[in-house]
A and B are shown apart, each in its own frame.
Chain A
């Protein structure tokens, strides 16, 4: 699952990290939209080349490369299968373009998720008028998923010590063997949820209509610049494509 790393927040001190999550959201959506507008190798490569400096600014190139390496098998698989099964004129060329588009799309969103702390994300959602309880539920999920994972391991240990052999037997037996893991996990989670709720209730969760926020996000000049620039590029490309179309050199592809 190492490719998921590229969607996981990493603490860094970078210009991109300092941007407001909302401007980064605009950046991610516009760059994803732009990648979706093309299906030729050359323009998609240009898009990807434009994204790499942003990764550089976010000090995350190495992480990105590692994830791409983890994904390489899947990407090659997509190219091979598409080439074999596709009915378009130049299937290989088409598959390569498709794969670059996938990478560009992933990169667009990874720039967002790599650099936005979950707390900032929920704060951004709240300021975009999403209910606090909902946004908070999301950040709590982030908080407790690792705890639950840890608990699942402890449960597996406890059952193994009682002679449950998790990786033995046929499929049916293996599924049956999951019951001693899943039942305690559910019960432990319910107990935990109750105890968490009790503690949150004791700290006045969800009562005040006028909840305050220690840190409010503020759109700064650099955020306006990023948002404005992203939208401008998108609009220009739409205008250009619909009136002029792509120049010939951009249409280049393999002849198979």
Chain B
């Protein structure tokens, strides 16, 4: 779906954000990108939808080099949801806001309205259609911004720090929604610090540090690697910590435990083994 070949990027006069990044993401994958602030995560995602262009290297979208495609053109395939919804909301009703993006991408008024309606009801925002986004709470605004991207039914959905400021319930809703999209064939890429979110919903994790990819693989093995955890400024999930502490006494405990149910299973076996 997305193939990135050895891209380099340097912000004008500041610092090098990407120094040779290659990654391939297949259709229908769920990928989490983790790393410290300044590791290049957001820069990488901005390359996926053409907001930034590589100074060296190539970005391919369905085998087509994006060099000659405009952002608007790429946006039809890759939808990017930004960290702050306030950076995009500007119209006086939620409905207009969603329709605006669709119209920009060339949908007819009728089709835009239909899609808008469908998306809003899918996100539980039907009641908000006529409300002004500015009267909504932060969490609700975040959902409106998400709706405006989802409505375009992108093949790839990229989200930058979607869980910041969200409580447990909202996080769960978001995760369910992403799974649903993913089941329907949508590729989901997320940039996040939220390790529990990664553990539960993303089978593949990419760890970045200093403009390079330092780890790329199965989430459970990547996140039980202390060096990677440290490099990406994450804190290991409690389940992993518990498992590695238990392994010191009980060597049969595997070192790849990240989920609550796995850990429960292990403990049942340990306790039951008496």
B and A form one assembly: yes
Docked-complex contact A163 and B90, CB < 8 angstroms: no
Kindly state the separation between the CA atoms of A60 and B90 in the bound complex, as whole angstroms.
44
Looking at chain A's contact residues, the main secondary structure is helix
On whether the beta carbons of A162 and B86 are closer than 8 Å, the reply is no
The residues of B that contact A103 with a CB separation of less than 8 Å are none
A158–B87 CB distance below 8 A = yes
Q: Give chain B interface residues in 245-273, CB to chain A under 8 Å.
A: none
Question: How many Å lie between the Cα of A112 and that of B201 in the bound state?
Answer: 58
Measured in the bound complex, the distance between the Cα atoms of B49 and A191 in whole Å is 29
Per the bound structure, the CA–CA distance linking A155 and B51 in Å amounts to 12
Inter-subunit contact A154/B148 (CB<8 Å): no
Is A184 positioned at the interface, with any CB of B under 8 Å from its CB?
yes
Give the CA-CA distance A162 to B100 in the complex, in Å: 8
Residues of A within 8 A of B71 (CB): 160-161, 163, 165
Q: Is the CB of A180 within 8 A of B46?
A: no
Q: Given the complex of chains A and B, what is the CA–CA distance between A242 and B230 in angstroms?
A: 76
Q: Is the CB of A158 within 8 A of B75?
A: no
Task: Give A162's nearest chain B residue, CB to CB.
Answer: B101
Given A179-B90, A180-B90: A157 touches B84 (CB 8 Å cut-off): no
Which residue in chain B gives the minimum CB-CB distance to A191? B86
B80/A161 in contact, CB under 8 A:
yes
For A154, A155, A162, which residue has the most chain B Cβ atoms within 10 angstroms?
A162
Per-residue interface assignment for chain B, residues 103 to 127, with 1 indicating a CB less than 8 Å from any chain A CB and 0 otherwise: 0110000000000000000000000
What residues on B are CB-neighbors of A160 within 8 Å?
A: 51, 71-72
A184 with B86, Cβ < 8 A, contacts A162-B75, A165-B70 known: yes
* Residue of A whose beta carbon sits closest to that of B46: A157
Q: Is A85 an interface residue (CB 8 A)?
A: no
- Please indicate the chain B residues that have their CB under 8 angstroms from the CB of A188 in the complex: 84, 86-87
Question: B88 is contacted by which of A165, A179, A184, A191 (Cβ under 8 Å)?
Answer: A184
Cβ contact within 8 Å between B89 and A184? yes
In-complex Cβ contact of B84 among A154, A161, A162, A179 (8 A):
A154
Residue A161 contacts which of B51, B86, B89 (CB distance < 8 angstroms)?
A: B51
A187 to B85, CA, bound (A): 12
Does A57 sit within 8 A of B, measured CB to CB? Answer: no
Say if the beta carbon of B82 comes within 8 Å of chain A. yes
Is the CB of A54 closer than 8 A to any CB of chain B?
Answer: no
B134 at the interface (CB under 8 A from A): yes
Contact residues in B for A180 (Cβ distance below 8 Å):
88, 90, 100
- Are the CB atoms of B86 and A183 closer together than 8 Å? no
Taking CB atoms and an 8 Å cut-off, the chain A residues in 117-157 that contact chain B are: 151, 154-155, 157
**A51 sits at the interface (CB 8 A):** no
A102 within 8 A of B: no
B interface footprint on A75-109 (CB within 8 Å = 1, 0 otherwise): 00000000000000000000000000000000000
Residues of B within 8 A of A164 (CB): 72, 104
Q: Does A159 contact B (CB under 8 A)?
A: yes
| Complex contacts, A162 vs chain B, CB 8 Å | 75, 88, 100-101, 104, 148-149
Given A154-B84, A158-B88, A191-B86, verify A163-B105 contact (CB < 8 Å). Answer: yes
Cα of A145 to Cα of B226 in the assembled complex, Å = 41
CB distance from A91 to the nearest CB of B (A): 42
Determine which of A157, A165, A184, A191 lies in contact with B51 in the assembled complex, contact meaning CB atoms within 8 Å: A157
With a cutoff of 8 Å between Cβ atoms, the chain B residues found around residue A155 in the complex are 87-88
Nearest CB in chain B: distance from A192 CB, A: 10
Bound-complex Cα distance A183 to B90 (A): 6
Residues of A within 8 A of B82 (CB): 154, 157-158, 161
Complex CA–CA separation, A2 to B67 (angstroms): 31
Among A155, A157, A184, A187, the one with the most B-chain Cβ atoms within 10 Å of its Cβ is A157
Instruction: Please judge, given known A-B contacts A162-B104, A163-B75, A163-B101, whether A187 and B51 are in contact too, CB under 8 Å.
Output: no
Flag if B90 contacts A161 (CB, 8 Å).
no
Asked if residues B86 and A187 are in contact (CB atoms below 8 Å), the reply is: yes
Contact A163 B87 (CB under 8 A): no
Q: Which residues of A contact B105 (CB under 8 A)?
A: 163
Q: Decide if A184 touches B101 in the complex (CB within 8 Å).
A: no
User: If the complex has contacts A154-B84, A183-B90, A184-B86, are A161 and B49 also in contact, measured as CB distance less than 8 A?
Assistant: yes
What residues of chain B lie closer than 8 Å to A179, measured between beta carbons? 90
Can you name 8 extra interface pairs (CB under 8 A) apart from A161-B82, A184-B90?
Answer: A154-B84, A155-B88, A157-B82, A160-B72, A162-B104, A164-B104, A165-B71, A180-B88
Listed by A's residue number, 27 A-B pairs whose Cβ atoms lie within 8 Å are: A151-B87, A154-B87, A155-B88, A157-B82, A157-B87, A158-B84, A158-B87, A159-B88, A160-B72, A161-B75, A162-B88, A162-B101, A162-B104, A162-B148, A163-B72, A163-B75, A164-B72, A165-B72, A180-B90, A180-B100, A183-B90, A184-B86, A184-B88, A184-B89, A187-B86, A187-B90, A187-B134
